[in-house]
């Protein structure tokens, strides 16, 4: 089973009810060279919905399908890889041209994790400094980024 990161995931122009994308196989390198990508579409997803894909941040496991005519091999049985989760607090929030970004401080750790408003789930208002959150991060990379952030109600 190969592992990689979905770098592109978009709606098919010819069939709006379908989505397709490309995965970079982590064993082949971290570059985004088109020669190193693997094609898939939503029919190849196993156990997840297309709405759960957040390109370019979603890590997946997949199998290589039979190579067809064209430049990209096909991925089959694409499934989301579990990410570790932790609790922490929002320590900084800044606006940008698309919304906002900020940093989270994990409980009992010395490092902060970067997040954007697109990674916040189940929350309709911007996060404020000091808010208690649960977040999921990717420990396979060194960029210390939170990929899903959820507001936690304090008791």
Whether residues 10 and 71 fall in one domain: yes
Q: Is residue 43 left, alpha or beta, with left meaning phi > 0 and alpha meaning psi from -120 to 50?
A: alpha
Residue 69 sits in the same domain as residue 89: no
Q: Token pair 């899903």 is at which residue?
A: 148
Residues in the chain: 155
Number of structural domains (the chain) is: 2
Q: What average pLDDT does range 34-54 have in this prediction?
A: 82
12 and 54 share one domain: yes
Q: State yes or no: pLDDT of 126 exceeds 70.
A: yes
Residue-wise pLDDT tens digits, 47-80? 888 877 877 778 899 998 866 555 668 899 999 8
On whether both 45 and 92 belong to a single domain, the answer is no
Q: How far apart are CA 30 and CA 54, in angstroms?
A: 18
Confirm if 107 and 87 have CB atoms less than 8 A apart.
Answer: yes
DSSP code of 96?
Answer: E
pTM: 0.61
Domain containing residue 40: 2-80
Alpha helices in 18-107 (DSSP H): none
Question: Which of 16-25, 27-36, 100-109 is the most confident on average?
Answer: 100-109
Q: Could you tell me if 92 and 76 lie in one domain?
A: no
């Amino acid at each position: 089973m190969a592992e990689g990161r979905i770098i592109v995931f978009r709606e098919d122009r010819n069939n709006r009810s379908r989505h397709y994308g490309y995965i970079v196989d982590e064993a082949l390198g971290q570059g985004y060279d088109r020669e190193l990508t693997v094609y898939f579409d939503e029919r190849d997803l196993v156990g997840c919905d297309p709405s759960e894909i957040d390109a370019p941040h979603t890590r997946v496991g997949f199998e290589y399908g039979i190579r067809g005519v064209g430049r990209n091999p096909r991925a089959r049985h694409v499934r989301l890889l579990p990410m570790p989760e932790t609790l922490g607090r929002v320590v900084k929030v800044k606006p940008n041209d698309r919304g906002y970004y900020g940093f989270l401080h994990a409980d009992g750790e010395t490092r902060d994790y970067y997040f954007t408003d697109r990674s916040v789930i189940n929350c309709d208002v911007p996060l404020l400094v000091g808010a208690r959150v649960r977040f999921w991060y990717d420990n396979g990379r060194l960029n210390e980024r939170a990929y899903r952030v959820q507001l936690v109600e304090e008791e």
